[in-house]
A and B are shown apart, each in its own frame.
Chain A
Amino acid sequence: MSEQKPTLNLERVTKRFGDFTAVDSLSLSVRAGRIFGLLGPNGAGKTTTIRMIVGITAPDEGSVELFGRRVTPELQNRIGYLPEERGLYKKMRVGDQLKYFSELKGLSGRAAEEALERWLSKVKLSEWRRKKATELSKGMQQKIQFIAAVMHDPDLLILDEPFSGLDPVNVELLKDLVLELKAAGKTIIFSTHQMEVAERICDDICLINRSRKILSGSIREVKSGFGRNAVALRHAGGDGVLEDPALVASVERHSDHLEALLAPGADPQELLRRLLGAGARVERFELVEPSLNDIFIEKVGGDV
């Protein structure tokens, strides 16, 4: 995959259901070999966007281009999709249904058999192969569904809320698998409303709310462009300095430190100087980046 050509490109895509516009003139592009976070609150239009990418529905306006082409049934084979609404055939054996799903993606025979063995052992479920889906716990089922999305070795993997309802051990396991796929050059779209998770694994993000794009770019760009300065501070004395509204907008106290959000345009160096000047003893002074969660709440919060 060349770096210049995006794996996926959405150009002013709009989808309406009756009077309701689910996705409104959305443009975004996903670069090859990156993990792309499609973020937004529930009902923002994430799932509808994904459905247009995988070819379940067609956009009313705009175009979706995958690997530089319109999505066709053949191209569908190169996508792996773990939907948010997901399930398994209850009475079918785990191995049989995984093979069925991969056959629907054009993988069969010896290759399917090998992929099945490999992935089952990766998620530590090899001995469950002949069991029926109903005998599996919810977490196990979720791992099987994950395999269904990746077994046919797709170039683009789309995961819609992949970690919801998983215990921390399994979240780590799946996260490592996703990073492994990224290292193998796969492109991954990751949709979630859990910002902590997105922050840890995404390279690029696109935040949508109420059918529209709010912001997009690499995590670094997004954070630096957010124009917000906060300082983590542990000190003794000089409290008066923090009450200057020209310098500090607000203070949030934690158990062993406090977080001071600087007033717009204020320089953190000025704060440090003033504190020292006031005779404070500073034990910790650290510039904190805004978390995605902060950005999310700031951009979306008042709206919800």
Chain B
Amino acid sequence: MSKFLAVVRREYIQRVRSRMFVLVTLGAPLMFALFTVVPILIAGIKTGGPTRIAVLDETGKMFERVRDSAGVGRDSDGGDDDEAKTDEAVSGSANQNTRGRMEEMAKASAQNYEFERVEAAGRAPAELRAQLDERVRRDELDGYIVLPSDVLERGEAEYYSRNLGDVFTRGQVRNAVVKAVRDARLDSHGVGPEVMRAVNRPVRLKATKAGGGQGGEEDKGQGFFIVFGAGFVIYLTILMYGQVILGAIIEEKETRIAEILFSSIRPFALMSGKLIGVSLVALTQFAIWGVAFVGLGAYFAAKGMAVSFPRIPAGVFAYVVLFFLLGYFIYATIYALVGSMVTTSQEGGQLAMPIILLLVVGFYLAFPVIRSPNSTFAVWVSMIPFFAPITMLIRIVSQTPPLWQIALSLGIGFATVALLLWLAGRVYRTGMLMYGKRATIPEVLKWVRQP
């Protein structure tokens, strides 16, 4: 036991003391800030002047409508087809942020349109188009819309642009035309603006878990969000620390210390010591970030900004922590096992990649599971240790399964961790006896059986 602790201590102290640790601890939040703030700033940069669009209005009465519709957000427009199709579950809170941001960016650019009316004045359409094309070519215009005289009946309009890759402008133009045509049609049926507003008043669906009684708290899809958050953090942790674990396991092979160690300590104690040591480093790093994050939140809250931390029921929170630990250790021990087979960390990285895909598969399995959390399929995948961290959590937040299933899932998971670790120790010890050679799978299997 004291030898195990010696390993944990060395792994921890050596890493926390390293310049790399300090650098990552300070640098990562900066990078994070950079990656979230900078794209918004960049996207908001206005390049050039306003977008100049000509409207060739063959109906002669649509121009004002189009011009006024541009720059009006989609939401007030109500029932857009695309939006209705989106699965409510998917577009839960997780996505709301991103979508909101996209819309804001689009709105910001919407204020920058210059519409210009082009009169037909008896000229042939082909001639007019040639003229407009020429103006676009000379950079006097960025694009033009053609509204045929039968646009209200046939519902077809055309948009010509120099830059079709500019999806924001394209979307805005489309929205403007759609809204203009729709309003014109409603008008022609005698539906006034008051009626339209009344019709378009949004409907809000309040979702509450059944059986929660009167005080049942409204569920804003938080559960799903929490699970995906936990899954994402597992993924991130493994991406960050998988390589560190790999390096820690390989270190003694590369420095040829392994033989001294194995003449002093059992392989299992060494492996678990290394794993725990590196994990404590990760924990330290996350704790520093967590404290900084909460501190920052408190600071902003004190300054009167609206800061809301997600509220998670204590029971669910405990499960999230447990399954996070399970997920982390499952994948961390896989890295340890890979490390025990290879001689350099580059090799290990390549070998570990397919395993990380298992984690991604877990994310996809979440969708069928949330639709029927108590189906046989869901029960089975929540027992497989590689998927359990996400699938079982999904079941817990949706229709909490019986306790024995949760316990069984955790039991299988942590037993797998121990087994993988034991395996890694054996493979490592035998692999050490042949330096500089990567083990083949049959060899590894043979080593495991060897006394």
Task: List the interface of chain A (C-beta within 8 A of B).
Answer: 17-18, 51, 54-58, 60, 73, 76-77, 79, 81, 83, 85-92, 100-101, 103-106, 108, 148-149
Contact = CB atoms under 8 A, between A and B. Distances in A.
The 5 closest A-B pairs by CB, nearest first: A87-B256, A104-B264, A87-B255, A54-B263, A83-B259
Interface in B185-203: none
Nearest to A56: B262
Given A60-B451, A73-B266, A104-B261, 11 more contacts: A51-B433, A56-B262, A56-B429, A83-B260, A87-B257, A88-B257, A89-B251, A100-B6, A101-B264, A103-B6, A104-B7
A272 B433 CA distance: 55
B2 A106 contact: yes
B256 A103 contact: no
Contacts of B2: 103, 106, 108
Of listed B14, B255, B259, B262, residue having the most chain A CB within 10 A:
B259
A85 B259 contact: yes
Interface residues of B, number: 25
Interface of B: 2-3, 6-7, 10, 14, 18, 251, 255-257, 259-266, 429-430, 433, 435, 446, 451
A74 to B, nearest CB: 11
15 contacts: A51-B259, A55-B263, A57-B429, A73-B265, A76-B263, A81-B260, A85-B435, A86-B257, A87-B256, A89-B251, A89-B255, A91-B18, A100-B10, A104-B261, A149-B260
Given A51-B433, A56-B429, A57-B433, A89 B257 contact: yes
Nearest to A81: B263
A149 B263 CA distance: 11
A101 B3 contact: no
Contacts of B18: 91
A174 to B, nearest CB: 17
Contacts of A18: 446
Of listed B255, B263, B430, residue having the most chain A CB within 10 A:
B263
B264 A105 contact: yes
Contacts of A108: 2, 6
A304 to B, nearest CB: 22
A282 B451 CA distance: 65
Contacts of A81: 259-260, 263
Nearest to B434: A17
Contacts of B261: 104
B14 A91 contact: yes
Nearest to B18: A91
A77 B266 CA distance: 12
Contact of B259 (A56, A79, A88, A106): A56
A100 B6 CA distance: 7
A17 B259 CA distance: 18
B255 A56 contact: no
Nearest to B266: A73
A73 B265 CA distance: 7
A89 B253 CA distance: 11
A57 B10 CA distance: 25
A92 B14 contact: yes
A264 B266 CA distance: 54
Contact of B260 (A91, A103, A106, A148): A148
Contacts of B255: 87-90
Contact of A58 (B10, B266, B433, B451): B451
B395 to A, nearest CB: 43
Given A104-B6, A106-B2, A108-B2, A85 B264 contact: no
B3 A104 contact: yes
Contacts of A85: 256, 259, 435
A60 B451 CA distance: 8
